[in-house]
Protein backbone atom coordinates (compact mmCIF):
# COMPACT_ATOMS: atom_id res chain seq x y z
CA UNK A 1 0.00 0.00 0.00
CA UNK A 2 1.37 3.43 -0.95
CA UNK A 3 2.05 5.75 1.92
CA UNK A 4 0.45 9.14 1.31
CA UNK A 5 3.14 11.57 0.21
CA UNK A 6 2.94 15.33 -0.11
CA UNK A 7 5.22 17.06 -2.60
CA UNK A 8 7.68 19.53 -1.08
CA UNK A 9 7.39 23.25 -1.88
CA UNK A 10 9.29 24.31 -5.00
CA UNK A 11 11.06 27.53 -6.05
CA UNK A 12 12.00 28.21 -2.44
CA UNK A 13 13.97 31.44 -2.29
CA UNK A 14 14.91 34.24 0.04
CA UNK A 15 13.83 37.62 -1.29
CA UNK A 16 15.64 40.52 0.35
CA UNK A 17 15.34 44.21 -0.56
CA UNK A 18 16.97 46.97 1.50
CA UNK A 19 17.49 44.47 4.34
CA UNK A 20 13.78 43.54 4.51
CA UNK A 21 13.88 39.79 3.95
CA UNK A 22 11.32 37.06 3.45
CA UNK A 23 11.21 33.44 2.38
CA UNK A 24 8.85 32.64 -0.47
CA UNK A 25 7.90 29.52 -2.44
CA UNK A 26 5.44 28.18 -4.98
CA UNK A 27 2.17 26.71 -3.64
CA UNK A 28 1.85 22.93 -3.43
CA UNK A 29 -1.31 21.87 -5.24
CA UNK A 30 -3.41 18.94 -4.05
CA UNK A 31 -6.72 17.50 -5.21
CA UNK A 32 -8.54 18.06 -1.93
CA UNK A 33 -7.90 19.99 1.24
CA UNK A 34 -5.79 23.07 1.83
CA UNK A 35 -2.05 22.86 2.27
CA UNK A 36 -0.41 24.69 5.14
CA UNK A 37 3.28 25.56 5.50
CA UNK A 38 5.77 25.65 8.35
CA UNK A 39 9.09 27.52 8.31
CA UNK A 40 12.07 26.96 10.63
CA UNK A 41 15.36 28.84 10.89
CA UNK A 42 18.82 28.34 12.30
CA UNK A 43 21.86 30.61 12.44
CA UNK A 44 25.53 29.96 11.80
CA UNK A 45 26.29 30.60 15.46
CA UNK A 46 23.54 28.35 16.86
CA UNK A 47 22.84 25.51 14.39
CA UNK A 48 19.60 24.21 15.90
CA UNK A 49 16.31 24.55 13.98
CA UNK A 50 13.89 27.00 15.63
CA UNK A 51 10.25 27.71 14.92
CA UNK A 52 9.35 31.02 13.29
CA UNK A 53 6.14 33.03 13.39
CA UNK A 54 5.14 30.94 10.32
CA UNK A 55 3.79 27.65 11.63
CA UNK A 56 0.93 26.02 9.69
CA UNK A 57 0.24 29.13 7.62
CA UNK A 58 -1.74 29.19 4.33
CA UNK A 59 0.48 31.92 2.76
CA UNK A 60 3.43 31.06 0.52
CA UNK A 61 5.77 33.55 2.11
CA UNK A 62 7.19 34.23 5.55
CA UNK A 63 8.86 37.41 6.81
CA UNK A 64 12.08 36.91 8.72
CA UNK A 65 11.41 36.92 12.46
CA UNK A 66 12.89 39.92 14.27
CA UNK A 67 15.50 37.84 16.09
CA UNK A 68 17.31 36.96 12.84
CA UNK A 69 17.10 40.34 11.12
CA UNK A 70 20.81 40.92 11.66
CA UNK A 71 22.84 42.08 8.69
CA UNK A 72 25.97 40.03 9.32
CA UNK A 73 24.43 36.78 10.58
CA UNK A 74 24.46 33.65 8.48
CA UNK A 75 20.89 32.35 8.41
CA UNK A 76 19.44 29.09 7.06
CA UNK A 77 15.71 28.58 6.55
CA UNK A 78 13.62 25.57 5.67
CA UNK A 79 9.97 25.09 4.73
CA UNK A 80 7.66 22.10 4.41
CA UNK A 81 4.07 21.55 3.31
CA UNK A 82 1.46 19.96 5.61
CA UNK A 83 -1.90 18.47 4.82
CA UNK A 84 -3.56 17.16 7.95
CA UNK A 85 -1.10 14.61 9.35
CA UNK A 86 0.77 14.25 6.06
CA UNK A 87 4.03 16.18 5.85
CA UNK A 88 6.32 16.87 2.91
CA UNK A 89 10.10 16.80 3.04
CA UNK A 90 11.82 19.94 4.26
CA UNK A 91 13.35 22.22 1.62
CA UNK A 92 16.40 24.10 2.90
CA UNK A 93 17.77 27.39 1.65
CA UNK A 94 21.47 27.88 1.34
CA UNK A 95 23.24 30.20 3.77
CA UNK A 96 21.94 33.76 3.60
CA UNK A 97 23.85 36.82 4.84
CA UNK A 98 21.87 40.04 4.41
CA UNK A 99 24.96 42.24 4.13
CA UNK A 100 26.07 40.15 1.13
CA UNK A 101 22.78 38.97 -0.37
CA UNK A 102 20.22 41.76 -0.06
CA UNK A 103 19.35 43.96 -3.05
CA UNK A 104 19.82 47.66 -2.44
CA UNK A 105 17.38 50.03 -4.04
CA UNK A 106 18.36 53.45 -5.38
CA UNK A 107 18.98 56.38 -3.04
CA UNK A 108 16.08 58.78 -2.57
CA UNK A 109 16.38 62.32 -3.95
CA UNK A 110 14.68 64.65 -1.48
CA UNK A 111 15.42 68.04 -3.03
CA UNK A 112 17.18 69.58 -6.04
CA UNK A 113 18.34 73.20 -5.99
CA UNK A 114 19.39 74.72 -9.32
CA UNK A 115 22.04 77.44 -9.59
CA UNK A 116 23.38 78.93 -12.82
CA UNK A 117 26.39 76.58 -12.93
CA UNK A 118 25.41 73.69 -10.67
CA UNK A 119 22.70 71.43 -9.27
CA UNK A 120 22.66 70.69 -5.54
CA UNK A 121 21.05 67.36 -4.62
CA UNK A 122 19.90 66.35 -1.17
CA UNK A 123 19.68 62.54 -0.94
CA UNK A 124 19.08 59.82 1.64
CA UNK A 125 20.20 56.18 1.52
CA UNK A 126 17.70 53.50 0.47
CA UNK A 127 17.37 52.12 4.02
CA UNK A 128 17.64 53.51 7.55
CA UNK A 129 21.33 53.50 8.43
CA UNK A 130 22.74 52.05 11.61
CA UNK A 131 25.42 53.97 13.56
CA UNK A 132 28.75 53.72 11.77
CA UNK A 133 27.31 53.01 8.31
CA UNK A 134 29.07 54.77 5.46
CA UNK A 135 27.86 55.10 1.89
CA UNK A 136 29.37 56.13 -1.41
CA UNK A 137 27.03 57.86 -3.82
CA UNK A 138 27.69 57.59 -7.54
CA UNK A 139 26.15 60.40 -9.59
CA UNK A 140 25.81 60.04 -13.36
CA UNK A 141 24.82 63.23 -15.18
CA UNK A 142 24.50 64.49 -18.72
CA UNK A 143 23.20 67.41 -20.73
CA UNK A 144 19.79 66.60 -22.22
CA UNK A 145 20.83 66.61 -25.88
CA UNK A 146 20.47 64.16 -28.77
CA UNK A 147 23.95 62.67 -28.17
CA UNK A 148 24.75 63.33 -24.51
CA UNK A 149 28.15 62.76 -22.95
CA UNK A 150 27.63 61.06 -19.61
CA UNK A 151 29.87 62.07 -16.73
CA UNK A 152 30.05 60.65 -13.25
CA UNK A 153 31.34 61.58 -9.82
CA UNK A 154 31.40 60.07 -6.33
CA UNK A 155 30.59 61.51 -2.93
CA UNK A 156 30.16 60.28 0.62
CA UNK A 157 27.87 63.06 1.80
CA UNK A 158 24.10 63.25 1.40
CA UNK A 159 24.44 66.73 -0.11
CA UNK A 160 25.84 66.34 -3.62
CA UNK A 161 26.88 69.09 -6.00
CA UNK A 162 27.06 68.63 -9.75
CA UNK A 163 29.21 71.55 -10.85
CA UNK A 164 30.70 73.23 -13.96
CA UNK A 165 27.35 73.21 -15.76
CA UNK A 166 26.05 75.62 -18.41
CA UNK A 167 23.42 78.11 -17.36
CA UNK A 168 19.77 77.75 -18.37
CA UNK A 169 20.42 74.21 -19.64
CA UNK A 170 18.52 71.01 -18.97
CA UNK A 171 20.64 68.36 -17.25
CA UNK A 172 19.61 64.84 -16.25
CA UNK A 173 21.09 62.71 -13.52
CA UNK A 174 20.82 59.27 -12.00
CA UNK A 175 22.24 57.93 -8.72
CA UNK A 176 23.26 54.69 -7.13
CA UNK A 177 24.66 53.90 -3.71
CA UNK A 178 27.54 51.65 -2.69
CA UNK A 179 27.44 50.12 0.77
CA UNK A 180 30.25 47.76 1.70
CA UNK A 181 30.39 45.19 -1.11
CA UNK A 182 26.85 45.95 -2.25
CA UNK A 183 26.15 48.16 -5.24
CA UNK A 184 22.58 49.46 -5.27
CA UNK A 185 20.17 49.84 -8.15
CA UNK A 186 20.36 52.97 -10.26
CA UNK A 187 17.64 55.58 -9.78
CA UNK A 188 15.26 56.62 -12.54
CA UNK A 189 16.78 59.68 -14.27
CA UNK A 190 15.50 63.12 -13.25
CA UNK A 191 16.01 66.27 -15.30
CA UNK A 192 16.39 69.84 -14.02
CA UNK A 193 17.26 73.12 -15.71
CA UNK A 194 20.07 75.27 -14.34
CA UNK A 195 19.24 78.88 -13.49
CA UNK A 196 20.08 81.99 -15.46
CA UNK A 197 22.94 83.93 -13.87
Question: Residue 71 belongs to a domain with what CATH number?
Answer: 2.60.40.10
Other beta carbons within 10 angstroms of residue 56's beta carbon come to 8
Question: Taking a C-beta distance cutoff of 8 angstroms, is the pair 121, 140 a contact?
Answer: no
**pLDDT at residue 1, rounded to an integer:** 43
Q: Cα 63 to the chain's mean position, in Å? A: 13
Distance CA 119, CA 157 (A): 15
- 148-155: Cβ within 8 A, 24+ apart: 148/172
Q: Are residues 87 and 20 in the same domain?
A: yes
Distance CA 174, CA 196 (A): 23
Which domain range does residue 177 map to? 108-193
**Nearest Cα to 177, choosing from 133, 136, 149?**
136
**pLDDT at residue 3, rounded to an integer:** 52
Q: Are residues 28 and 87 in the same domain?
A: yes
Q: Is 137 exposed, middle or buried (0-12, 13-18, 19+ CB in 10 A)?
A: buried
Q: Cα 152 to the chain's mean position, in Å? A: 24
Q: Are residues 33 and 88 in the same domain?
A: yes
Residue 4 inside a domain? The answer is no
- What are the percentages of helix, strand and coil residues in the chain, rounded to 5? 5, 45, 50
Number of domains in the chain: 2
Q: Are residues 17 and 89 in the same domain?
A: yes
pLDDT tens-place values along the chain, 197 residues long? 445 689 999 999 999 999 999 999 999 999 888 999 999 999 999 989 999 999 999 999 999 999 999 999 999 999 999 999 999 999 999 999 999 999 999 999 999 999 999 999 999 999 999 999 999 999 999 999 999 899 999 999 999 999 999 999 999 999 999 999 999 999 999 999 999 98
Give the predicted TM-score (pTM) of the model: 0.89
Residue 5 inside a domain? The answer is no
Distance CA 4, CA 89 (A): 12
**Nearest Cα to 67, choosing from 81, 91, 46?**
46
Provide φ and ψ at 93, rounded to 5°.
Answer: -90, 160
Q: Are residues 92 and 20 in the same domain?
A: yes
Amino acid sequence: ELSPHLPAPENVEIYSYNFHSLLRWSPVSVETGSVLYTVHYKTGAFPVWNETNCTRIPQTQCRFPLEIQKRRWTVHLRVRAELGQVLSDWVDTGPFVAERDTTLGPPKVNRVSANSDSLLLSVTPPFTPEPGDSFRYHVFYWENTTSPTKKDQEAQKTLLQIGKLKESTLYCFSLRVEFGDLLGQQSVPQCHRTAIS
